[in-house]
Chain A
Amino acid sequence: MKRICRLILIPLMALLVASISSVANAQIPPPENAEKMLSDAYTGKSYSPYAGRGFATFPLWGDTHLHTGNSFDAGAFGARLSPEDAYQFARGDEIVSSSGVAARLSRPLDWLVVADHSDNMGFFLDLFAGKPNIVSDPMGRDWYDRIKAGKGGEVAYEMISLFANGKFPDSLMYWPDTAPYKDTWIRTIDAAEQYNDPGKFTAFIGYEWTSLVTGNNMHRVVVFRDNADKASQVVPYTTYPPYGSPNPRDLWKWLESYESETGGDVLALAHNGNLANGIMFPDRAQYDGKKLDKEYVTQRAKWEPLYEVTQIKGDGEAHPFLSPEDEFADYETWDIGNLDVPRSTAKTDDMLAGEYAREALKTGLALEERLGTNPYKFGMVGSTDSHTGLSTAQEDNFFGKHAGAEPNPERMFHEFIASDRGTIMGWAQVSSGLAAVYAKDNTRASIFDAMARKEVYATTGSRMMVRFFGGWDYTADDVSSRNPAFAGYQKGVPMGGDLHANADKTAPTFMVLALRDPIGGNLDRIQIVKGWLDKKGDTQEKVYDVVWSGDRVAGGDGKVPAVGNTVDASKATFTNTIGAAELGTVWSDPDFDPAQRSFYYARVIEIPTPRWSTYEAFRFGVPIPEGAPVSTQERAYTSPIWYTP
């Protein structure tokens, strides 16, 4: 089969090599300086500054992380939708969910990565079909019978737990060299090729490498810039020895060899540090005791330009224990244990530093000082990690984590994960998130390149537009100029960029602007989050309110009072009578020390709007579950801009 594929692909490959092989690596070096960038971006120096502009006017919205029935756990929970269905739904079609509910997005997504688990890819659909190689095994038979008897959810948790603890039976494993595994991968690629419509909708080829060490989550999603010709030359890397490994270092080797063998481009992004029990962002040694060394930090920085900071299984930007001064830090927090909750070691405070994005960005500064490279220099995106084939992150249109948790009157009150460690109820699922990408064209290449240069931001599901620039001479006039992005690119760098000390040792200026989602809530405030490495080598952080709606006055601690709340729980409504449709300002760091490494990112907070559980309670006529917040303040997290002395 492979031979036939290759023959057909030769002409295509030749074309592609000629056209897109200019980028040899996932890491696109940032421009030498701002002027250089301007000459690329601001090409409209003729009469019309709008003609041929080199940057995107609006971000492209997507999801880097969606599972379909091809993921063994998703299948066990009842997902029957295929990658084809997932792409159809994402581009705006109405389809029927696995549980039989008609589903449609309020607005299409611009792009989607179907990222099914690589381990056992395709296993479940075969188990479900009772293929003889599976049901001839006693455990396979038992699973099969129970699934047929309607106990798929129970089987799913059992499989996940065995998998998480390295005990999935060898005899049942779909190893990467087997025919069903390869077939599933080829079918996945075919689906992406079919639905990829350059200029309209981008369907990425991708998968998830699901590393779990005794249930501690080190998952990464792998995204290909390439088309089928290159991606089909390999099968996805798995975590089970002997074919795979749970060690990120081995994944990076696989990525390296993929690029060198095919001339392709890939990147990886991790997610759910909050379920890692401390091992997602190591400070001294990685999970197996091996010390962080030059190789670890350079490889991680090279292959992992992004981090998925918010999704259904909890928001991972900040934790109240790590950021006690930040009144917005405790947002949709999941901190009971790791992914295998029933068998997990309970979460302890000392684990948290290795789990949350803001802390990792800070740790990265210290590691750069110590080892020469910042391994945690990542941009931030949100994604769903939904296992339903349906990428839904909008509060009033949320289809849940898995097919067993699709809309029904009971889903909020079911135990989502139950154990003596604690229980996560159905309502605690988070209707989040989205990835916004400043790519000029809606194509695999353009979006991937924007990801690689980190010109991306995360939202918890709302589509607010955010611009964030750092440089040395932004002024208030730039904000109100006819198009602030011109000044933005002209005088500095966008989100994801780097600043180096200027001759005058003055403080950098940051221009930040946000426009609310046209169908969402107004904006409460924009904040700038700063992290830095102080003289003693300790990391610090501070959150600044930089612009906010109305005539509120910041208190003595610099904090702006709460915006208010218009949510009417009884009708699941809100009004945009508070907040602002648009906010923007130029801010200069009042505490800047030119000798200290630092990073800055913007956090945009919406006014309170009904949480999905409130919409659900209204629609199904059930009470709002005890403990569930009535309203939520959706937010955006931009990729940071780093300052290096």
Chain B
Amino acid sequence: MTDSRAMMREPLLHFLLGGFGLFLLFSLVSDSNRVADDEIVVSAGHIEHMVSVFAKTRQRPPSSEELRGLIDNYITEEILYREAKAIGLDQDDTIVRRRLRQKMEFLLDDFTVVEPSDEDLQLFLDNNPGRFREDAVISFNQVFLNEISRDKAETLLATLQSGAVANPEDLSESYLLPYRLDNASEAAIRAQFGDTFKTQLFDLDVGRWVGPVESPFGVHFVRIENIVAGRVPTLPEVRNEVEREWLADFRSTAQSEILEQMKASYSVTVEMPEDSAQ
């Protein structure tokens, strides 16, 4: 999977170019239109755009008559649009407001695509070690019992510790819980035995029979052979993952930050009606 970075970058590049493209398009379109308040210019670029939209839908270019119609229609639309805006018809219209909000959100989406530097990634890894930490792994033997009294538990533990039982696995009362697990990760133990058992298990003494430890299934006597401690990998080992997580985080925080910044330039007053005040 060493090449996945290259593959990941490539679509990012497209996003990035797409974002700038969108921006350029917007500025072009606005340039051609906003010459002066009382002047309407239908630029060649805009006509080409209309033609291509038409062709996409009808699978053919418009006839000259149809093109004339498209242009006339656009001019009408532009005039009515400006007049409507001039008398404030856009102000309280839910559809217009939602559409504009959405356009802004799309823009933010496009502007929050960036390539992190190595320093960014290292910092991210340092600040979020838990998200990349490799689980500790454990190898152990266990004797499982459905239930056991305190007296019996002490006797059994003593027997196991004395080594008098040749095949401790024969004492186990489970079919499917294995007598031995090799190199099982914390996640695997949690998934199979539950979180409480996992937490207890990794704190037990190594190299001798201990127990009983409770799980949702019953009680376990355990002899841990070894535990390989978990560790936080270095950046080169998990660069792809860190980059992926960095980007996902960046996008959501950047967007809310931009929003917060915008918010800062407004003074917001909420006038709660009396009866719905808390």
Report B-chain residues with C-beta under 8 Å of the C-beta of A584: 175-176
B246 shortest CB reach to chain A, Å? 12
> With A145-B95, A193-B8, A518-B192 in contact, is A50–B182 under 8 Å at CB?
yes
B99 within 8 A of A: yes
Q: Are B14 and A1 in contact, CB atoms less than 8 angstroms apart? A: yes
A194 within 8 A of B: yes
B90 shortest CB reach to chain A, Å? 14
Q: Are B11 and A483 in contact, CB atoms less than 8 angstroms apart? A: no
| 3 residue pairs, one from A and one from B, having the closest CB atoms | A482-B169, A12-B3, A515-B176
A198 within 8 A of B: yes
B175 touches which of A148, A149, A480, A516 (Cβ 8 Å): A480
Q: Are A513 and B10 in contact, CB atoms less than 8 angstroms apart? A: no
| Chain A, residue nearest B56 (CB) | A133
Report A-chain residues with C-beta under 8 Å of the C-beta of B215: 518
State A305–B135 Cα separation when bound (angstroms): 35
> With A483-B178, A515-B177, A582-B174 in contact, is A137–B57 under 8 Å at CB?
yes
Report A-chain residues with C-beta under 8 Å of the C-beta of B182: 50-51
A1-28 contacts to B (CB < 8 Å):
1, 4-5, 8-9, 11-12, 15
B229-267 contacts to A (CB < 8 Å):
240-241, 244, 248
Report A-chain residues with C-beta under 8 Å of the C-beta of B95: 145, 148-149
State A107–B195 Cα separation when bound (angstroms): 10
State A8–B191 Cα separation when bound (angstroms): 38
A-B contact pairs, 25 of them (CB 8 A): A1-B14, A8-B3, A8-B6, A12-B3, A12-B7, A50-B180, A50-B182, A108-B191, A132-B53, A145-B95, A148-B94, A148-B98, A148-B99, A171-B57, A190-B7, A200-B187, A482-B172, A484-B176, A515-B174, A515-B175, A515-B176, A518-B191, A518-B192, A518-B193, A581-B217
A434 shortest CB reach to chain B, Å? 13
A518 touches which of B57, B58, B179, B216 (Cβ 8 Å): B216
B120 within 8 A of A: no
State A516–B178 Cα separation when bound (angstroms): 15
Report A-chain residues with C-beta under 8 Å of the C-beta of B54: 136
**Most chain A CB within a 10 A radius of its CB, from B1, B7, B190, B194:** B7
Q: Are B53 and A136 in contact, CB atoms less than 8 angstroms apart? A: yes
- How many of A's residues come within 8 Å of B, CB to CB? 55
A228 within 8 A of B: yes
B106 within 8 A of A: yes
> With A171-B57, A518-B192, A518-B216 in contact, is A84–B248 under 8 Å at CB?
yes
State A149–B1 Cα separation when bound (angstroms): 45
B188 within 8 A of A: yes
B interface residues (Cβ-Cβ under 8 A, vs A)? 1, 3-4, 6-8, 10-11, 14, 53-54, 56-58, 94-95, 98-99, 102, 106, 146, 167, 169-170, 172, 174-182, 187-188, 190-194, 215-218, 240-241, 244, 248
> With A145-B95, A515-B174 in contact, is A190–B57 under 8 Å at CB?
no
A4 touches which of B10, B169, B218, B248 (Cβ 8 Å): B10
State A463–B188 Cα separation when bound (angstroms): 13
Report B-chain residues with C-beta under 8 Å of the C-beta of A484: 175-176
Report B-chain residues with C-beta under 8 Å of the C-beta of A4: 10
Report A-chain residues with C-beta under 8 Å of the C-beta of B6: 8
State A186–B178 Cα separation when bound (angstroms): 43
B194 touches which of A132, A519, A582 (Cβ 8 Å): A519
State A193–B179 Cα separation when bound (angstroms): 37
A135-167 contacts to B (CB < 8 Å):
136-137, 145, 148-149
State A535–B58 Cα separation when bound (angstroms): 62
B128 shortest CB reach to chain A, Å? 12
Q: Are A519 and B8 in contact, CB atoms less than 8 angstroms apart? A: no
A620 within 8 A of B: no
| Chain B, residue nearest A4 (CB) | B10
State A82–B217 Cα separation when bound (angstroms): 38
Q: Are B176 and A8 in contact, CB atoms less than 8 angstroms apart? A: no
Report B-chain residues with C-beta under 8 Å of the C-beta of A149: 94-95
Q: Are A193 and B216 in contact, CB atoms less than 8 angstroms apart? A: no
| Chain B, residue nearest A513 (CB) | B175
A276 within 8 A of B: no
State A169–B246 Cα separation when bound (angstroms): 41
Report B-chain residues with C-beta under 8 Å of the C-beta of A529: none
